[in-house]
Amino acid sequence: MIVDLANIEGSSHPFKFSVPADDLDLGIENIRFKTAASASGEITKHIIQTDISGIISAEAEIDCTRCLLPIEKNLAIDFDVSYVAEDEFAEESNAELEAGDLNTDVLNGDRLDLKEVVREQILLNLPTQVFCREDCKGLCQKCGVNRNLIDCKCEEKEADPRWSALRNIK
């Protein structure tokens, strides 16, 4: 959804749209979207900057960081970003700009692709680690089984000194 900021009447402009799961294409393997991402919010035009705030929601399936079991997650992301035209960004004297504002992005021209904003915000706000349960044992480093389901005893064999003692008897 492309918004032409030059055509926005008044200072505030509400938006509501959804991005189909197939279009989200985050380039991340361990997450799959089960629904479209719906986004709603408001674009507010100021003299120098344009603020976009809103909420994005989607249902996704994210693999457990330890054992790779898919877990259903409802994503609800509140976001607040500002865009400033390129030439304004260069001028440090602008009172509206706060130095070091990480949420401020440079806008090229008057066109803003809200779909890209949504994609970017989802990427920025994805949980870095997801666990199927707090004490997930993960996959065995030796034999690869899911240690929540199978007690493969690999670790025990490693740790038990009696085994190495037995191995030494030939």
Number of residues near Zn ion (by CB under 5 A) = 11
The CB-of-142 to Zn ion minimum distance in angstroms stands at 4
Instruction: Point out which span in 78-86, 99-107, 118-126, 143-151 binds Zn ion (CB under 5 A).
Output: 143-151
d(CA 60, CA 33) in angstroms, rounded, equals 4
| Backbone φ and ψ of 84, nearest 5° | -130, 140
154 touches Zn ion by CB under 5 A? yes
Give me the least distance between CB of 60 and Zn ion, in Å please: 16
Are 37 and 57 in contact by the 8 Å Cβ rule? The answer is yes
49-68 binders of Zn ion (CB under 5 A): 64, 66-67
Q: How far is the CB of 158 from Zn ion (least distance, A)?
A: 10
d(CA 43, CA 54): 9
Tell me if 132 contacts Zn ion by CB under 5 A: yes
Torsion of CA 52, 86, 2, 16, to 10 degrees: 0
Q: How far is the CB of 93 from Zn ion (least distance, A)?
A: 53
CA separation for the pair 112, 5 (Å, rounded): 7
Task: Tell me the residue type at 134.
Answer: E
Minimum distance between the CB of residue 165 and Zn ion, rounded to whole angstroms?
21
> String of b and e for 152-166 (b: at least 16 CB within 10 Å)?
beeeeeeeeeeeeee
Select the residue interacting with Zn ion from 143, 149, 156, 157 (CB under 5 A). Answer: 143
Q: 28 or 90: whose CB is closer to Zn ion? A: 28
Q: Does residue 142 belong to the site contacting Zn ion (CB under 5 A)?
A: yes
Report which of 49, 27, 24 is spatially closest to residue 35, judged by C-alpha positions.
24
Q: Is 106 in the site for Zn ion (CB under 5 A)?
A: no
- Does residue 152 belong to the site contacting Zn ion (CB under 5 A)? yes
| Interaction site with Zn ion (CB under 5 A) | 64, 66-67, 69, 132, 136, 140, 142-143, 152, 154
